[in-house]
Structure 1
Amino acid sequence: MPFKLPTQIPQFTLPAPVARIGAKLPQLPPTLALVTGLNLALGRMIPREPLEPLIGKRFAIRVLDAGLTLRFAYSIRGFRPIFDAGKPDLTISAKSRDFIALLAREEDPDTLFFSRRLLTEGDTDLGLLVKNTLDGIEMPRFDPSRFAPGEMLRRLRQRLAPPRGA
C-alpha cells in the first residue's frame, strides 16, 4: 500500500511538559530562525513598501503549546531580534498547529481570530496592517506528494546520478 500524506494538518496540541520546558530554553535560536526567514523573504515574497508603517515597531509571537515567545522588531534594514522583555507593540499568540495551518494557507487569520484560536494584544491597527500584509503574500503552495517516500527517493536518485554523457 503506497504511503499517503494527510491532505489536512491534523488537530494536535503539544503536551504541557513541552511548553514548560520550552519556556525555560533560550528563545534566541528560534527567534533568529524566524527573523532570518522573514529577511530572506523581504523583497522576494514580502514587499517592503507595505511594511514601512512597521518601522520601529516591536513584535512578539507566542507559540502557546511550545512555550516559545519570539521577540523581534522591524527597521529600515529588516527584521532583527530584540533582547529585552519590554512591552511589544503587537503580540500574536496561537498554538503551533494553528501557526502551521496559517503558513500552509489551510486556515485564514480571520477564521482563527473569530474562533479565538489566534489572539492579538496591543495595537489593533498594527495587527490589522500585519494581517492584511500577510494576506497579500503569495506563498508557494505546499505539495504533500513531494514528501512521499517514493517521490523523495526518485529525486535523490536523480541528484546522485552521474551527469548524462559522463
Structure 2
Amino acid sequence: MTTGNPLFPAPLGKLLSHLPAYPGSLVFTAGLNLMLASHLPADTLRMLQGKALRIQPRDAGVAFDFMWSGTSFKAIAPATQPDLTIAANVHDFYLLMQRREDPDTLFFSRRLSMEGDTELGLLVKNSLDSMDLSAFAPGNFSPARFFRQRSWPLR
C-alpha cells in the first residue's frame, strides 16, 4: 500500500490552500459537465438534485463544492455541512479514475473517505463504477476532435 503521493508536491498544496474556493469549484464543475454529466443515469441525477457535494483532494489544500441543478452541475459557495464529502489524495483520485485502484480497497485502507449521507455516497460510487470509462480516454478530448464535432458558422 502506497500512502505517499508522487504526483502532488506539498509546497503546491500549501500555496493552493490560500486561494479562494469558488473559482476552483467553477473550473471543476465545467469539467464535470463536459465529461460526466451526459453519462450519468437520469435516476442518479434526480437523487443528486439540490445536494451539496464536496470533492476534497486532501494534499492539494483545496475542496470543490457543487450540486446538480437539474440541468448541469453548478459550483456553490463552500457548504459548512455538505450532504456528501469524498476525500482522498490526488494520487488516489488519479488511481480511481484510471481504475487501477478499487474504491472499496481505498476506503478500507483509510485512503478514501466519505462523510455525510451514506446512501448518496453509495449511489455516486455505484454510478461511477458502472460507467464505461473508455469514453474519457485522453484522445477523446483533443482540440482537433472538439472542433471537428462542432458546426461553426462561417463568416
Q: Could you say which TM-score interval applies, normalised by the shorter chain?
A: 0.7 to 0.9
Partner residue, 2:152: none
Tell me, yes or no, if structure 1 residue 132 matches structure 2 residue 120.
no
Contact 1:104–1:141 under 8 Å retained in 2:
no
Give the total of aligned pairs: 136
CA distance in structure 2 between the partners assigned to 1:49 and 1:38 by the alignment: 17
Contact 1:102–1:109 under 8 Å retained in 2:
yes
TM-score (norm 2): 0.77
Query: CA offset at residue 30 of structure 1?
Result: 2.8
Residue deviations 1:58-98 (CA, integer Å, cap 9, x gap): 01111111101111111212210001433100001100000
* Change in CA separation of 1:38 and 1:15 when aligned onto 2, cut-off 3 Å: closer
Query: CA offset at residue 13 of structure 1?
Result: 5.8
Tell me, yes or no, if structure 1 residue 37 matches structure 2 residue 28.
no
Tell me, yes or no, if structure 1 residue 92 matches structure 2 residue 90.
no
Q: Where do residues 1-166 of structure 1 align in structure 2 (5 Å cutoff)?
A: 12=6, 14-40=8-34, 41-43=36-38, 45-140=39-134
* Change in CA separation of 1:75 and 1:141 when aligned onto 2, cut-off 3 Å: closer
CA distance in structure 2 between the partners assigned to 1:48 and 1:78 by the alignment: 12
* Change in CA separation of 1:143 and 1:46 when aligned onto 2, cut-off 3 Å: closer
* Change in CA separation of 1:143 and 1:137 when aligned onto 2, cut-off 3 Å: closer
* Change in CA separation of 1:51 and 1:142 when aligned onto 2, cut-off 3 Å: closer
Amino acid at match of 1:131: K
Gaps of 5+ in 1: 1-9, 147-166
Identity %: 46
CA distance in structure 2 between the partners assigned to 1:143 and 1:77 by the alignment: 24
Gaps of 5+ in 2: 140-155
CA distance in structure 1 between the partners assigned to 2:137 and 2:123 by the alignment: 29
CA distance in structure 1 between the partners assigned to 2:135 and 2:51 by the alignment: 30
Which structure is larger by alpha-carbon Rg, 1 or 2? 1
* Change in CA separation of 1:64 and 1:11 when aligned onto 2, cut-off 3 Å: closer
Q: How big is the alpha-carbon RMSD for the aligned residues of Structure 1 and Structure 2?
A: 2.4
Amino acid at match of 2:43: E
CA distance in structure 1 between the partners assigned to 2:24 and 2:99 by the alignment: 22
CA distance in structure 2 between the partners assigned to 1:33 and 1:108 by the alignment: 26
- Flag the structure with higher helix content: 2
Contact 2:29–2:73 under 8 Å retained in 1:
yes
